[in-house]
Amino acid sequence: MTKVYYEDAVTTNELEGKTIAILGYGSQGHAHAQNLRDNGNQVIIGVRKGKSADAASKDGFDVYPVFEATKKADIVMVLAPDEVQGKLYQEEIEPNLVDGNALVFAHGFNIHFDVIVPPKNVDVFLVAPKGPGHLVRRTFVEGFAVPALFAVYQDATGKAREVALSYAKGIGATRVGVLETTFKEETETDLFGEQAVLCGGTTHLVQAGFETLVEAGYQPEIAYFEVLHELKLIVDLMYEGGMEKMRYSISNTAEYGDYVSGPRIVTSETKAHMKEVLADIQSGKFAKDFVADNANGFKEFHRMREEQKGHQIEKVGAELRAMMPFVKKDA
């Protein structure tokens, strides 16, 4: 089994005496900043004026424009949205990096696809929590953490690996386990997972199931419960104990139907399409399209977002969730 790093694998704090600039104070940014600070590290925030800057100030951080935070820092963690990072890097980050700084990411996208080409005299690594930022913070406060991956892309100081592990410990991740990967592996598997299974695969599976029931004349409210609401309960069981625990917990009727009908839905053809999606990620086609659409004002992105927004399952879901205040979580 692959090596997992825990608390005692990281004996020195390579962040000590250094200033860490967290660029962006969104989902990941607020969590990294607060966890690192709670662990005794020196953290400043680099973000443009607005809601995020106000939130960071309110949380007690010194907030600077990105160029100034980068200048003041030894370790620069880039937590602006992926599509913003290229321009931000060129205009405000690169001119303010000096020998021996560390340039850090939570996702390998821009480095792996050469949107950002770092100078040779800085360390470049990633520390990527495997969960949303709000959980990175909440679990830390509760005494746990979200597991994380780390990878070194470039080691200018001879200490990049140690600094990366110290960073992972600083955000709490070594409490539950940190795994080593590469920028290529992290980027390509992350994109594939969210496209084929977690986000793209799941939303379209749920919608197709909903439409099938509604088109057959069943009530949309009933369809919503059967294909969307209950999904959480099933996923929670898989999260706790894999498919076996889930199948143990469901009725024999449901388990028999799982074996008989699952392979009729996700077929060898579906898997062939998954391989095509992976090939587009590996070749850089997906990244190229995403970056080009961003340069075009995200026209295609916004069109698809609008198209999906209007789906009947969203309207029915909003009404049903209003009756179930217990399902409501923080935004």
Query: Which tokens sit at 36?
Result: 């690192």
Determine whether the annotation assigns residue 251 to a binding site. Answer: yes
When CB distances are held under 5 to 8 angstroms depending on the partner's kind, the choice from Mg ion, ligand NAD, none that residue 52 binds is: ligand NAD
Stretch that binds Mg ion, among 37-45, 98-106, 177-185, 236-244 (CB under 5 A): 98-106
When CB distances are held under 5 to 8 angstroms depending on the partner's kind, the choice from ligand NAD, Mg ion, none that residue 24 binds is: ligand NAD
When CB distances are held under 5 to 8 angstroms depending on the partner's kind, the choice from Mg ion, ligand NAD, none that residue 93 binds is: none
Determine whether the annotation assigns residue 330 to a binding site. Answer: no
Q: Does residue 174 belong to the site contacting Mg ion (CB under 5 A)?
A: no
The residue length of the chain stands at: 331
Rounded Cα distance, 279 and 286, in Å: 9
Query: Which tokens sit at 159?
Result: 């200490």
Q: Are 43 and 33 in contact (CB under 8 A)?
A: yes
Q: Are 80 and 58 in contact (CB under 8 A)?
A: no
Determine whether the annotation assigns residue 25 to a binding site. Answer: yes
When CB distances are held under 5 to 8 angstroms depending on the partner's kind, the choice from Mg ion, ligand NAD, none that residue 84 binds is: ligand NAD
Give the rounded distance of the alpha carbon of 9 from its chain centre.
Answer: 25
Beta bridge partners of 105: 78, 126
Q: Are 138 and 173 in contact (CB under 8 A)?
A: no
Measured from the CB atom, the residue of 132 and 262 that comes closer to ligand NAD is 132
Catalytic status, residue 107 = yes
Rounded Cα distance, 70 and 310, in Å: 42
Determine whether the annotation assigns residue 46 to a binding site. Answer: no
Residues that bind ligand NAD (CB under 6 A): 24-29, 47-48, 52, 66, 79-82, 84, 88, 106-107, 128-129, 132-133
List the one residue from 190, 196, 210, 317 that touches Mg ion (CB under 5 A). 190
CB of 43 to ligand NAD, least distance (A): 15
Q: Are 207 and 313 in contact (CB under 8 A)?
A: yes
